[in-house]
Structure 1
Amino acid sequence: MPVIPWTDDDVIRAFPEFAIEVPALGAGQQKVAYKASDVALKVLLQDPDSVDDEAATTIERFQREMSAMQATTCPHVATLVSGPELRTIGETERYWYTEPLLAGGTLKQRLRLGPLSHTEAADLARSLLLAVDAMWAQGIVHRDIKPDNIGYLSDGTVVLADLGIALLTEMYPVTNSQLVGPGTQYYAAPEQYQMRRNTTIDFRTDLFQVGIVVAESVMGYHPFRQPGTGHIEQLTSFDATVLDSFNLPAGLRELIPRLLAPHQSGRYRSVQRALKALGSGS
């Protein structure tokens, strides 16, 4: 866990308008999250006045995340409640913002209890597909869809969060090499390992990641972390027959292998087609 450069008292004093609960809900490499009344308050660890290259990259990633959250309107994508703004916490100004509180926890926490029911998995798949569709309508590719970044609101709504490495495609050519590279190794699509200028990263990359998450949610284990062969080799050879023993409804049984096609051309040509396939028998 990173060192937080302010105290609990510092953050409480800095945000008198919120009933902040301490200690923090959690801290990553970039941000610290607090429960603040009925929202989540997130504070960027990076000093915005720092001049080193790593700081500049962190601030750029943060600004990209804010742009993505502001651009996308979908109940299944984390949105800004307030901010981003600068505020002095302790002795230094920091960027902060609030987003809806994931009171129901994360999918990663949920999967520790075992696989989802078929109904829950279908709802998860539908929610993530709607999120991908809404982001792609704004030219956004999430690129890091994984159980840690998926949570539940108090009413059970599935929400995709952490758009920190989301790509706004209008910012760069789609084939630019900056668009590739895995967000999280075991939830990356095959093309994210192909560091070539002609590699395409688009909504179909997110579809592959949705496929991993949904497969894991019904199987109870990661579909591409099995002993015997290398990870990248497994990514390009998903054996759909492993799903036969799970007695899946037709929609999920059709959806998962198609999402996990090794090449983008084998995946759905639009999110709407994926949603139609899911709805046909879930």
Structure 2
Amino acid sequence: MDIPWIAAQFPQLSGLQPLATGGQKVVFAAQHSSDGDVVLKLLLKATGEERLEREVLAGQLIECERVPRVFETGELATPIGSCIWLREQRVQGTTLRTPLRMGAFDFAVVVRLGVQLLATLALAEAKRIVHRDIKPENMMFDGSGNFWLLDFGLARHLDLESLTATRFAFGVGTVGYSPPEQMRNRKREIDGRADLFAAGVLLYECATGINPFLVGARDQLEVLKRVEQQQLPRLQLAADCDGSFADLVAALTQKYPNQRPRSVADALKWMTEIASIHAIAPAGVRNV
């Protein structure tokens, strides 16, 4: 898209800079005259209007200080077709993928991440929303002790009709993080426990620096096979002296939903108890 043209359509924005492009979606960073740093997302209407509407709805329903606020939405006629757009709060920080390239995080940081992520997912669960795309690229660390959950573009609203056709052999998500029931499009099995699986994989990766489902895999089919058939190796962390964190991660990443904690709320209680045992405050860390 022509950035000067887009800038002219949003005169209240300044400093428009491209952040990401993918498929029919374009994301910009900008400054808003009253809302400060924002993100502007544009999506060709014919390709995903309902998904963007549900992303907006998720942002509005989940009242959490670690989910970006949606300020405004609308529709725009462009030279390449009608687009829908949303303007949301921009989080200043880095995704977890960047520090993960340098290796594992300190144990205290991983525990804080676990508490904050599960607290956010518990609020989503209370609104019957499943994120379905938890991975390092969708977690942002803001340098002030907060881990933000981004991009509800694949969110499943359990009280609304599914947008993924039942006939499809594979569901939406990210191979290597999403659970078997989600990748195999077993819709009736998908609830907050799907996010628990992905959260467990994320915590494992942050604690060790690697995701065993991905390391050395030839292709996505091999990754999917590992997710379905192989358990993650049990965590062996010196700081986890009683093994309670390893127990939790093992429970979160079980292959079947009914083998995981019954709810995100239950997992959060477990994670909070681990933080208490190790005297780790749920916030306050300023670097990873």
Q: TM-score with structure 1 length normalisation? A: 0.82
Once the two structures are TM-superposed, the CA of residue 228 in structure 1 deviates from its matched residue by 8.0
Once the two structures are TM-superposed, the CA of residue 224 in structure 1 deviates from its matched residue by 1.4
Once the two structures are TM-superposed, the CA of residue 279 in structure 1 deviates from its matched residue by 2.2
Could you tell me whether the CA contact under 8 Å between 1:20 and 1:34 is conserved in 2? no
**What is the rounded CA distance, in whole Å, between the counterparts of 1:231 and 1:168 in structure 2?**
27
Q: Deviations over 1:70-97 (max 9, x none)?
A: 11111222321x2111245668653222
Once the two structures are TM-superposed, the CA of residue 121 in structure 1 deviates from its matched residue by 1.0
Question: Counterpart of 1:7?
Answer: 2
Once the two structures are TM-superposed, the CA of residue 127 in structure 1 deviates from its matched residue by 1.6
Question: Counterpart of 1:25?
Answer: 19
Question: Counterpart of 1:75?
Answer: 65
Alignment of 1:64-143 (within 5 A): 64-80=54-70, 82-87=71-76, 94-143=83-132
Alignment of 1:168-207 (within 5 A): 168-172=157-161, 177=166, 181-196=171-186, 199-207=188-196
Is 1:244–2:236 an aligned residue pair?
Answer: yes
Question: Counterpart of 1:266?
Answer: 259
Name the stretch that deviates more: 154-163 or 227-236. 227-236
Name stretches of at least 5 consecutive residues in structure 2 with no aligned partner: 276-288
**What is the rounded CA distance, in whole Å, between the counterparts of 2:186 and 2:146 in structure 1?**
38
Question: Counterpart of 1:45?
Answer: 43
Could you tell me whether the CA contact under 8 Å between 1:251 and 1:277 is conserved in 2? no
Structure ranking higher on relative contact order (CA contacts 8 Å, 6+ apart): 2
Name the stretch that deviates more: 164-173 or 121-130. 164-173
**What is the rounded CA distance, in whole Å, between the counterparts of 1:7 and 1:239 in structure 2?**
46
Question: Counterpart of 1:279?
Answer: 272
Could you tell me whether the CA contact under 8 Å between 2:29 and 2:37 is conserved in 1? yes
Once the two structures are TM-superposed, the CA of residue 183 in structure 1 deviates from its matched residue by 0.9
**What is the rounded CA distance, in whole Å, between the counterparts of 1:92 and 1:271 in structure 2?**
41
**What is the rounded CA distance, in whole Å, between the counterparts of 1:143 and 1:259 in structure 2?**
15
Once the two structures are TM-superposed, the CA of residue 66 in structure 1 deviates from its matched residue by 1.3
Q: Deviations over 1:3-30 (max 9, x none)?
A: xxx31211222222122233x1222224
Q: Note the aligned Cα RMSD (angstroms).
A: 2.6
**What is the rounded CA distance, in whole Å, between the counterparts of 2:190 and 2:16 in structure 1?**
40
**What is the rounded CA distance, in whole Å, between the counterparts of 1:172 and 1:151 in structure 2?**
30
Match of 1:254 among 236, 247, 250: 247
**What is the rounded CA distance, in whole Å, between the counterparts of 2:113 and 2:209 in structure 1?**
14
Name stretches of at least 5 consecutive residues in structure 1 with no aligned partner: 1-5, 49-54
Q: Deviations over 1:82-134 (max 9, x none)?
A: 21112456686532222221211211122123211111111211121112111
Once the two structures are TM-superposed, the CA of residue 186 in structure 1 deviates from its matched residue by 1.7
How high is the sequence identity, in percent, across the aligned residues? 29
**What is the rounded CA distance, in whole Å, between the counterparts of 2:85 and 2:161 in structure 1?**
27
